[in-house]
Amino acid sequence: MQAPTLRDVAEAAGVHAATASRALNPDTRRLVNAKTARRVLRAAESLGYQPNPIARSLKTAKSRTVGLVIPDLTNPLFPPIVRGIEDVLGPAGYNALIVNTDNDPDREQSRIDSLRSRQAEGLIIATAQLDHPLLAELHRQSVKMVLVNRRTDDIDVPSVAPDDVKGIGLAVKHLVALGHRRIVHLAGPQTTSTGVGRARAFQIAVREHGLDDDPARIVPCDYWTEPQGASALRAVLDSGVEFTAVVAGNDLIALGCYDVFAERGISCPDDVSVVGFNGMPFLDKLQPPLTTVAVPLHQIGLEAARMLLESINEPEQPTRVVLLPPSLVIRGSTAAPRT
């Protein structure tokens, strides 16, 4: 039994396919006699008619698909964002095609080509390499896109991201309130917008509180990973820079610190306090539970999807940059410094 087509419905209702099409589509239904429309609807219902979106896409040149470009779905940062995106896309009749780039520019290029050949109507991009020529190229070709969890200064592209300045500010303020004066920042990769943004935010916050802003207190990691966080902390420890607290570029880097604490017999929070960033799940189960700057990931996804749909449906939107407010979740990894 083949799936019924529009012609089958039309035939069953005793009308022409064009009329059936008009009746079935809410936007054009008013062009057709109410009675005829009802007849068509009933016929469609009884045949279990489902329109074929592929045929529709071919005709309308709209795929109702958007591409989601992320580094790695396995990173706990992304699933909540993806959920948010899908929660907006689904009800709007759109689907998301997810691709993982593993932070490999070649792979990213090829995955994006594939999305484009699949006629994705827009792109949500969560990979964060700074000054990737790809981005400029896409922009030049006026591909609709929204950046997520990252920004760019070079070109005029909408983005949705946490307010890093505020988030890092919250972390530093909390530590200062506890009495810390010598704070270190284990920054994310300086090849990512988020990495440099948070490092800059740290510098600002530290100066604001009149603390030592020696650049040696900012140590970048090569990747946003646990092992990189661990080696960055080891480097600081070995460099002899004195400190009583760490602001990590993200939660994974903070987790790396825990490894080093165990390794070197450092007690957290007695010897060193740590604050993470992002608020990934299960941080409250760690020992000590990690104080972190929680980011509204799901909402970032919602907002990004909304912006993309908007720019698809009504082009010539002004480019918006949305910054969502993070909040501090205080747990056991921060305390007053030993006096």
Partner DNA sequence: CTGAAAGCGCTAACAA
Partner DNA sequence: TTGTTAGCGCTTTCAG
Q: Between residue 222 and residue 251, which ones bind a copy of itself under the rule CB under 8 A? A: none
193: closest CA among 229, 154, 228, 225? 154
Residue 155 phi/psi, 5-degree rounding, is: -120, 165
Task: By CB under 7 A, tell whether 19 contacts DNA.
Answer: yes
Q: Between residue 56 and residue 115, which ones bind DNA under the rule CB under 7 A? A: 56, 58-61
DSSP bridge partners of 328 = 293
Task: By CB under 8 A, tell whether 333 contacts a copy of itself.
Answer: no
Task: By CB under 8 A, tell whether 139 contacts a copy of itself.
Answer: no
Cis peptide before 289 (omega within 30 of 0): no
Residue 255 interacts with which of DNA, a copy of itself, none, CB < 5 to 8 Å by class? a copy of itself
Residue 15 interacts with which of a copy of itself, DNA, none, CB < 5 to 8 Å by class? DNA
Among 11, 17, 36, 76, binds a copy of itself (CB under 8 A): 76
Task: By CB under 7 A, tell whether 22 contacts DNA.
Answer: yes
Task: By CB under 8 A, tell whether 113 contacts a copy of itself.
Answer: yes
Among 286, 324, 329, 336, binds a copy of itself (CB under 8 A): 286
Residue 192 interacts with which of a copy of itself, DNA, none, CB < 5 to 8 Å by class? none
Task: By CB under 7 A, tell whether 55 contacts DNA.
Answer: yes
C-alpha 167/C-alpha 202 separation (Å) is 10
DSSP bridge partners of 65 = 95
The residue ranges of DSSP E strands in 109-199, in sequence order, are 122-125, 145-148, 159-162, 183-187
Q: Under rule CB under 7 A, how many of the chain's residues touch DNA? A: 30
Task: By CB under 7 A, tell whether 334 contacts DNA.
Answer: no
Shortest distance (Å) from residue 5 CB to DNA: 3
Cα angle 320-163-250, degrees, rounded to a multiple of 5 = 130
Residue 5 interacts with which of DNA, a copy of itself, none, CB < 5 to 8 Å by class? DNA
Task: By CB under 8 A, tell whether 50 contacts a copy of itself.
Answer: yes
Asked whether the beta carbons of 143 and 308 are under 8 A apart, the reply is: no
Return the range that interacts with a copy of itself (CB under 8 A); candidates 30-38, 53-61, 154-162, 188-196: 53-61
Asked whether the beta carbons of 149 and 313 are under 8 A apart, the reply is: no
Token pair of 254 as six digits? 């903070």
Task: By CB under 8 A, tell whether 220 contacts a copy of itself.
Answer: no
Among 12, 37, 126, 254, binds DNA (CB under 7 A): 37
The DSSP string of 224-271 is SSHHHHHHHHHHHHHHT---SEEEESSHHHHHHHHHHHHHHT--TTTT
The CA distances from residue 244 to 74, 184, 218, in Å, are 32, 8, 14
- Report helix angle 17-24 to 6-13, nearest 10: 100
The residues of the shown chain that bind a copy of itself, judged by CB under 8 A, are 50-55, 57-58, 63, 72-74, 76, 78-80, 82-83, 86, 90, 95-100, 113, 116-119, 255, 258, 281-282, 285-287
Residues of this chain that interact with DNA (CB under 7 A) are 2, 5-7, 15-19, 21-22, 24-25, 28, 30-37, 51-52, 55-56, 58-61
